[in-house]
Structure 1
Amino acid sequence: MYKIVLAEDQKMLLGALGSLLDLEADMEVVGQATSGDEVIKLIEEKQPDVCLLDIEMPGKSGLEVAKLVNEMDQRPRIIVLTTFAKPGYFEKAMKARVDGYLLKDRSIEELTTAIRKVVDGEQVYSQELMVDFIREKNPLNEREQQILKLIATGMTTKELTTTLYLSYGTVRNYVSEIIQKLEAKNRLEAIEIARSKGWI
C-alpha cells in the first residue's frame, strides 16, 4: 500500500484529489495539508512513500518544501502537481530534485501511474514542460536574478548599491545586461517577462 501525503491550498481540490486516490486499491492518503509548513509536519509524522506538492501555498512554497524533504533521512518521493506551466518553475523543481512534475489538467489515471512509477524509482515529467524548458532556458545568472528580484520590490539603483555593496556603475551595467538579455524595453517590462516565465 502506497502511503500518500497531499499538499494543496485549494480545499475543494484537496478533498476531491484525496477521495479519488483513496479509491485506488494500492493507495492510501494518510495526510492532507493546505500550507507548506503543515505538510512538513505531516511528512515527519506519517512517513509517506509519496508527497504530492502544489507550488504556490501559504508559508513555504512547494519547491521550498521539496528542498527540505531532500534533507530528511526517510525521504518520500516528491511529485509537484501544479497549474503553472512556467519553464522557470520547472527549472527550480529540477534543482530541488523532485521525482515528478505534472500539470493539474492531467487525468487521475495519469497521476496514479506517475505515483507508481516514482515509487519504483522512475522520474515522471510533463512532456510539454520539458520541451519549453529546453527551448526557454533562463538567460539570467543568479546575480542578475537577485538584482531583478530586488528591483521588483521597488528598490532604486542607489539602494541596490548599498544592499549589494556594488558601485553605482556596476549596478547600472547589471540592469542594462538584464534588460538586454530579456529583450525588454525597460525595468518594468524585464520584471514582467521574468515573472511570466517563473525566472524570478
Structure 2
Amino acid sequence: MTKILIVDDHVSVQESLSTAFDAQEDFAVVGTCSSAAYAPLYCEKLQPDLVFMDVRTEKGASGIEAVETLRRQFPKLKIIVMTAFEEVTYVPRARQAGADAFVYKSRSLSFFIETARGVVLGETFFPEPRAVPVPTGEAPLTDREMEILRLLCRHMTNREIASELFISENTVKYHKANMLAKTGFSTAVDLAFYMISNGWINPLY
C-alpha cells in the first residue's frame, strides 16, 4: 500500500485527489496539507511514500523549494509536482529540485493515478515545457537563458544573477545580449515585461 500526502491549498483539489486515490486498492491518502512550508513536518509525522506537491501553496510558500528540502531530508520519498499554471520554467525547475514527475492539473484523475503508479515503480514523467515564441524567428531561448530571464523578471541585477547562478557578470551580459538578439527587444526590461504580462513567467514563484 502506497501512502500519499497531498500538499495543496485548494480544498477541492485535496478532496478530488483523496477520493480518487482512496478508491484504489494500492493507495491510501494519509494526510493533506495547505502549505508547502509544513510539508517536511507532515512527512516526518505521517511517513508517506509519495507526495503530491503544488507549485504555489498557502501564503506564497513555494512547492519547488519544498521539493528541494524534502529530497534532502527524505531521499527515498517519491514526489510529484503539480500546477494549474503553464509557466515555462516550472517543469525544468521541478526536475532540478529533485521531483520524480510533473503533472498539470488539467489532466484527468486517471492520469494522476497512472503517473503515481509509474513513479512508485521508479519511472519519471516530465512533459515538454512550452516553447516561448521568438518574434524574430531565431533559435528558441536556451535553458540557461530562461534561467537568467526568470531572475531578470524578479528585478535582480547582473551581479545578483551572477551570484545566484555562480557565473560571472560578463556571462550574464552575454546571455542577455543573445536573448535580446533572438527576441527583437531593445532592452531586458522590455523583454521581462513581455514575459510577465503574457503569463510566460511568474516572478513570484
Q: TM-score range by the shorter chain?
A: 0.7 to 0.9
Aligned partner of 1:9 in structure 2 is 9
SS state at 1:190 partner: helix
CA contact (8 A) 1:81 1:103 kept: yes
CA contact (8 A) 1:21 1:29 kept: yes
Map Cα deviations across residues 118-141 of structure 1 (whole Å, 9 max, x no partner).
011110223xx35749x6534527
- Structure 1 residue 150 and structure 2 residue 155: aligned? yes
CA contact (8 A) 1:55 1:82 kept: yes
1:66 is displaced (CA, Å) by 0.7
Map Cα deviations across residues 37-68 of structure 1 (whole Å, 9 max, x no partner).
12221112111111001101134311101111
Aligned partner of 1:28 in structure 2 is 28
State the distance in 2 between where 1:28 and 1:164 align: 43
State the distance in 2 between where 1:3 and 1:164 align: 39
Which letter maps to 2:22? Answer: D
State the distance in 2 between where 1:95 and 1:59 align: 20
Aligned partner of 1:61 in structure 2 is 62
1:144 is displaced (CA, Å) by 6.1
CA contact (8 A) 1:100 1:125 kept: yes
Structure 2 counterpart of 1:137, from 125, 133, 142: 142
1:187 is displaced (CA, Å) by 4.3
Which letter maps to 1:124? Answer: F
- C-alpha RMSD of matched pairs (Å): 3.4
- Structure 1 residue 198 and structure 2 residue 201: aligned? yes
1:191 is displaced (CA, Å) by 1.5
Aligned partner of 1:156 in structure 2 is none
Moved more, 17-26 or 47-56: 17-26
State the distance in 2 between where 1:79 and 1:176 align: 32
The structure whose residues are more often helix, as a share, is: 1
TM-score (norm 2): 0.74
TM-score (norm 1): 0.76
CA contact (8 A) 1:5 1:32 kept: yes
CA contact (8 A) 1:47 1:74 kept: no
Which letter maps to 1:197? Answer: W
Aligned partner of 2:81 in structure 1 is 80
Which letter maps to 2:116? Answer: I
Structure 2 residue ranges without an equivalent (≥5) = 133-139, 163-169
State the distance in 2 between where 1:81 and 1:162 align: 32
1:72 is displaced (CA, Å) by 1.4
1:36 is displaced (CA, Å) by 1.0
Q: Matches of residues 180-199 of structure 1 in structure 2 within 5 Å?
A: 180-195=181-196, 196-198=199-201
State the distance in 1 between where 2:80 and 2:27 align: 15
Structure 1 residue ranges without an equivalent (≥5) = 152-159
Change (3 A) 1:36 1:77: same
CA contact (8 A) 2:53 2:63 kept: yes
1:163 is displaced (CA, Å) by 7.1
SS state at 2:16 partner: helix
Moved more, 140-149 or 105-114: 140-149
Aligned partner of 2:136 in structure 1 is none
